[in-house]
Structure 1
């Protein structure tokens, strides 16, 4: 992949929106200002998503060495 940083930010943005909206909707039954819970949860999910996606996309895979016994 040519631009792993761009792809990582895309993954983080999507995960932030999905988690933020999901937490806001679930918490709206019990908390009046559920958006104040959903926004930080979405931000944390977005940061974690960027870090994990970047780590996966930029990892170096060791070559497989076949041995004959």
Structure 2
């Protein structure tokens, strides 16, 4: 992958939007201002998604020795 940081941010934005919408819709049943719950939940999910995706994409595997 040539640009792991760009891909990580793309995944983070998608995760933030999806989680934010889902939490807002689920919380709307019980909380009138559910957007105030959905936005922070989406931000936390997006930050976690960026960190995990970047770690996975930039992980360097140790060279393996093949026994022939």
Task: Tell me, yes or no, whether TM beats 0.5.
Answer: yes
Structure 2: how far apart are the matches of 1:46 and 1:33? 21
Structure 2: how far apart are the matches of 1:15 and 1:27? 18
Cross-structure match for 1:63: 63
Unaligned runs of 5+ in 1: none
Unaligned runs of 5+ in 2: none
Cross-structure match for 1:45: 45
Matches within 5 A, 1:21-36: 21-36=21-36
Structure 1: how far apart are the matches of 2:30 and 2:42? 18
TM-score (norm 2): 0.96
RMSD: 0.8
TM-score (norm 1): 0.94
Aligned length: 68
